Chains A and B, each alone.
Chain A
Amino acid sequence: GDSVTQMEGPVTLSEEAFLTINCTYTATGYPSLFWYVQYPGEGLQLLLKATKADDKGSNKGFEATYRKETTSFHLEKGSVQVSDSAVYFCALSDHPGGTSYGKLTFGQGTILTVHP
């Protein structure tokens, strides 16, 4: 079945540091890829997405590029802020015919803490 693997957390950074959170996937179909963010005590919010190979999703200074050849969708930000402290989830959803069609399959989440 489909699966998503994220780098182990927690990740602790100083403000203005560069962030990378690795994400790789296995899928039976040709999925869309997502990054969701969960701030403390809240539900998940879509951060960015990419629906086909070589697409780059971007939002709020975060970026991720859909790499089909390496089955990866790594999240990056050039300069993190304290307000970026949250749990980040990589996820996929298949097109029709795929195992994850109609649902999100999540990675295990990566806790990010940014210190002033």
Chain B
Amino acid sequence: KQEVTQIPAALSVPEGENLVLNCSFTDSAIYNLQWFRQDPGKGLTSLLLIQSSQREQTSGRLNASLDKSSGRSTLYIAASQPGDSATYLCAVSGNQFYFGTGTSLTVIP
């Protein structure tokens, strides 16, 4: 069974810092990997989708990479802002969707 782990579980950084969130998965047979943002008590917002054949995707200040062979993905956030504070989830898509444990990010003004 696919297992998805995210490190760190929580992260607190001052505004303006660049940061990296990590995601690892045990089964490399995936269709794609998605990064989501979840605000407290809210649903999910899709940030980036990386196909299994791709290495990275970029959207604004966000850059996500995928190394399928090693079962790893990173989400890089540049010049963090207080509005980036949220929980970030990665999820891999195979026969079904498997979510990571999440990283709770706090950006301090």
Determine if chain A interacts with chain B. no
- The interface of chain A, by Cβ under 8 A from chain B, is none
Q: Which residues of chain B have a CB within 8 Å of any CB of chain A?
A: none
